[in-house]
């Protein structure tokens, strides 16, 4: 049994079309109603309209990514009760349309963070890059977050100073713009003042409190999801450690176990993202599949290269620190044991070839993802033994 291949589509305004995704060989699409403000309910009509577009293009809407969790829910303040009621209602509507898997994350304020979205690779393609010293410099000298100095070691602060002194205004501006990028699927940026206000709102929320808020949220939505036959899949933090003094609680295998145990249910599951978990050296990517595999409902397979100083870039899918061969083998075994085909997407890809001249959502140009997906497909088919079967029949 092979994985169900998908790509993320940001909706009708995405420069990558449904036809492009189908030509990449995908059977399914991963999307969200990005036009609905976070916290509001997704209407049945709006879901059906999106689903119709995807089905007309010959694919299925396999996974929702993301049904976003509002900042009020994450902080358990303000309108969180209304937002939770809306969330449950949205789940009802998604289930009524036959959609089965819903991904979300619980990262305060920001989703993924990078300092460079056009990091040149030796072959001329471009990748997403996180440079720790540049990010610390951004925090200390550009954003000027009041509590920043207490969050970094003296070595990190010294490295940030060195970075600041050795870079041009233009390079600093690039880091500034990249670090303030909006959530995936949005084309805007955060204003520095907006980020500082959002950070202030989290002053009372430490890691323990955030975890409690997540478990409360799960207690409120997982029973409904289970009754509806839905699978919820939490996406890990990216990068998997605190950012701008904000706590992050979905970063390690221990975090994943705690989440699963907090509300035991087949509906309380994981999105296994190798790119996010992989930049933290202690995370054993194949071990996580072995120990938590029954809870995995969705796969993001991409690779990174990282060092011990917290720098990383997004490497080619089969050419990074993660042992993608071992991971795919483990996932094929898991699917065989569970007798299911898990949805997968290549997550991000390099900006390359014609896409170097196009503007797409960072990380989500077509050709690089198509390449990543094709490499993963070859790996899967090879490992699943199909190739050998076929050649022996032909001989
Ligand atoms: C995604 C995440 O683009 C990506 O890296 O994997 O941003 C993911 O969409 C969200 O965190 C899931 O809620
Ligand atoms: Mn991911």
Identify which of 219, 220, 256 has the alpha carbon closest to the alpha carbon of residue 235: 256
Sequence-distant (6+) residues with CB within 8 A of 94 are: 42, 47, 64, 67, 102, 230
Band (pLDDT 50/70/90 cuts) for residue 392 is low
d(CA 394, ligand 2 centre) in Å: 39
pLDDT at 388: 56
For residue 43, what are its two tokens? Answer: 């209407």
Identify which of 224, 223, 249, 245 has the alpha carbon closest to the alpha carbon of residue 234: 249
Band (pLDDT 50/70/90 cuts) for residue 389 is low
Give the percent of the chain with pLDDT over 90.
94
Identify which of 262, 328, 306 has the alpha carbon closest to the alpha carbon of residue 128: 306
Average pLDDT, the chain: 96
Ion ligand 2 nearby residues (CB, 5 A): 273, 300, 347
pLDDT at 183: 84
- Nearest ligand, CA 276: 2
Is the per-residue pLDDT at 333 higher than 70? yes
Active site residues: 235, 273, 300, 347-348, 364
For residue 41, what are its two tokens? Answer: 């309910």
Buried b / exposed e over 330-342, threshold 16 CB at 10 Å, is bbbebbeeeeeeb
Which backbone phi and psi does 305 adopt, to 5 degrees?
A: -125, 130
By most ligand atoms within 8 Å of CB, the mutation choice from 9, 112, 349 for ligand 1 is: 112
Secondary structure in 3-state letters for 349-361: CCECHHHHHCCCC
For residue 319, what are its two tokens? Answer: 């050419």
Q: Which residue has the higher pLDDT, 389 or 77?
A: 77
pLDDT at 386: 63
The residues with which 105 forms a beta bridge, in sequence order, are 235
What average pLDDT score do residues 167-191 get? 91
pLDDT at 384: 92
pLDDT at 133: 97
Tell if the pTM clears 0.90, that is, is over it.
yes
Answer yes or no: are the C-beta atoms of 306 and 321 closer than 8 Å: yes
Sequence-distant (6+) residues with CB within 8 A of 122 are: none
Is the per-residue pLDDT at 197 higher than 80? yes
In angstroms, the CA 294 to CA 207 distance is: 26
Band (pLDDT 50/70/90 cuts) for residue 395 is very low
pLDDT at 393: 57
Residue with tokens 């995704």: 21
ipTM of the complex: 0.94
What average pLDDT score do residues 72-82 get? 98
Tell me the domain boundaries of the chain.
Answer: 4-109+197-394, 116-193
What average pLDDT score do residues 71-100 get? 98
Q: What is the strand order of the sheet 126-130 is part of?
A: 116-120, 126-130, 312-315, 303-306
pLDDT in tens, 350-384: 999 999 999 999 999 999 999 999 999 999 999 99
- Which atom of ligand 1 lies at the shortest distance from residue 68's CA? 13
Is the per-residue pLDDT at 182 higher than 90? no
Query: Which one-letter DSSP state was computed for residue 89?
Result: H
Which backbone phi and psi does 366 adopt, to 5 degrees?
A: -80, -50
Assigned superfamily of 4-109+197-394:
Divalent-metal-dependent TIM barrel enzymes (3.20.20.150)
Ligand 1: lining residues by beta carbon, under 6 Å: 65-66, 103-105, 111-112, 184, 235, 238, 273, 300, 347, 363
């Amino acid at each position: 049994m092979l994985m169900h291949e998908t790509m993320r589509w940001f909706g009708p305004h995405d420069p990558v079309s449904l036809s492009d995704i189908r030509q990449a060989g995908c059977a399914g699409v991963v999307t969200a109603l990005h036009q609905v403000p976070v916290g509001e309910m997704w209407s049945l009509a709006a879901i059906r309209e999106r689903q119709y577009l995807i089905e007309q293009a010959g694919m299925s809407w396999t996974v929702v990514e993301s049904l976003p969790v509002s900042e009020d829910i994450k902080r358990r303040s303000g309108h969180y009760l209304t937002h939770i009621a809306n969330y449950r209602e949205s789940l009802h509507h998604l289930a009524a349309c036959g959609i089965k898997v819903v991904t979300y994350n619980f990262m305060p304020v920001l989703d993924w963070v990078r300092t460079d979205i056009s990091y040149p690779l030796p072959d001329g393609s471009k990748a997403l890059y996180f440079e720790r010293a540049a990010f610390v410099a951004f925090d200390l000298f550009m954003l000027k977050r009041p509590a920043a100095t207490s969050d970094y070691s003296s070595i990190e602060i010294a490295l940030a100073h060195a970075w600041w002194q050795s870079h041009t205004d233009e390079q600093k501006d690039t880091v500034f713009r990249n670090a303030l990028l909006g959530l995936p699927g949005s084309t805007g940026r955060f204003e520095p003042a907006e980020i500082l206000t959002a950070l202030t709102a989290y002053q009372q929320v430490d890691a323990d409190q955030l975890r409690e808020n997540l478990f409360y949220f799960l207690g409120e939505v997982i029973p409904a999801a289970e009754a509806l036959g839905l699978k919820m899949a939490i996406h890990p933090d990216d990068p998997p450690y605190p950012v701008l003094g904000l706590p992050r609680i979905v970063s390690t295998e221990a975090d994943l176990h705690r989440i699963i145990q907090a509300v035991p249910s087949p509906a309380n599951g994981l999105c296994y993202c190798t790119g996010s978990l992989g930049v933290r050296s202690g995370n054993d990517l194949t071990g996580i599949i072995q120990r938590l595999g029954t809870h995995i409902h969705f796969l993001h397979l991409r690779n990174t290269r990282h060092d011990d100083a917290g720098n990383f870039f997004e490497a080619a899918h089969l050419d990074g620190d993660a042992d993608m061969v071992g991971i795919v083998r483990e996932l094929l075994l898991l699917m065989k044991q569970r007798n299911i085909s898990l949805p997968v997407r290549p997550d991000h890809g390099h900006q390359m070839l014609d896409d170097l001249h196009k503007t797409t959502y960072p990380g989500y140009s077509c050709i690089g993802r198509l390449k990543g997906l094709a490499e993963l497909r070859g790996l899967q088919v090879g490992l699943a033994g199909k190739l050998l079967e076929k050649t022996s029949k032909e001989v």
